[in-house]
Amino acid sequence: MDRNRRNVDLLEHLLAQQGYRMLTADSLEGCAEVLAGEQDVDLALVDIAGFDARVWEYCERLRERHIPFLVPSPRQAVALKREGAAHGAQAVLVKPLVGRELLLLIDRLLERGQR
């Protein structure tokens, strides 16, 4: 979930090269639609920038469904890491994201979920 279409396009390209398929949402309502859909979601990237505090409700939904998620952030802040962890985030990542490191983390989280 990201409000910035360019970020979504870049991420989609990177993940497609590795054989991953993405479902995207650019609003809280769009996120709710993805979660209500019939498609399985194995991992979520939730960029909280530009969203209000309700974004954490959707993070709680992910946690309740046992869907691991990462929170990319434009800044590193202890409070944000604490908030993300409190709502079940596997990690808070500082942007700009490094493609190789992101892919390694995604691979590790997906592998862990298959055990």
pTM: 0.84
Domain boundaries, the chain: 5-109
The pLDDT, as a whole number, for residue 94 is 86
Quote the CA–CA distance of 55 and 105 in Å, as a whole number: 22
Residues of the chain with pLDDT under 50: 115
Q: Which CATH class is domain 5-109?
A: alpha beta
The pLDDT, as a whole number, for residue 74 is 78
The pLDDT, as a whole number, for residue 111 is 86
Three-class secondary structure of residue 50 per DSSP = coil
Report pLDDT digits (tens) over 66-88.
999 999 887 777 888 888 999 99
Q: Is 11 in contact with 45 (CB distance < 8 Å)?
A: yes
